[in-house]
Amino acid sequence: MADTLGNTFTTAEALSGGMHRRELYGLRDDGTVIELSRGVFRWANAPAPTFPDLLAVSRRVPIGVVCCVSAAAVYDLTDEIPIAVQFAVPRPHRPPRIDYPPSEVFRFAAERFELGLSSIEAAPGEAVRIYNRERTVADLMRLRKRLGEPLALSALRRYLRSRDARPRDLLAVARELNILGPVRTAMDAVTAE
């Protein structure tokens, strides 16, 4: 059964693979599988995931994309430890309510939802959808009143000081998200420091 399910799997995948619900919960109770989130399991002997919370949320909400502070933490654009996995879904999609791991949902416009879409390996061989560095910085600037201006400016500063910064790409994303003016002004202030 482990061969057909993969390292991380959902209840639905286990049931469609022929496992009975009692068997699944028996494996959980004896420690053979670990429940990452409601209905998301991982074999206990599988390699440890780098980002278990992101992996759990991505399995619960396959359309979701890790964003904002959670993405900034992955890219080392902030020292802030996210208290919840922040992920985006396209409007008008409604994701399930997730109690564990704690999560926060952002609803982004469907026409720009794929802008800056990338992925990272949350566990060996298991990818999670995440916005790239430029989209992450632009979103933090766009949501600076909600998430905090110091966080947004700090992420921008770290981004611009990194070796792989691409300011032109950041400005292109900012233009698409209709925040070119604030991003350009903040870039000028940060680079003048």
Residues of the chain with pLDDT under 50: none
How high is the pLDDT of residue 3? 59
Residue type at position 13? E
- Residues 6 or more apart whose Cβ sits within 8 Å of residue 169: 134
Kindly tell me the sign of the dihedral angle through the C-alpha atoms of 180, 154, 53, 37. Answer: negative
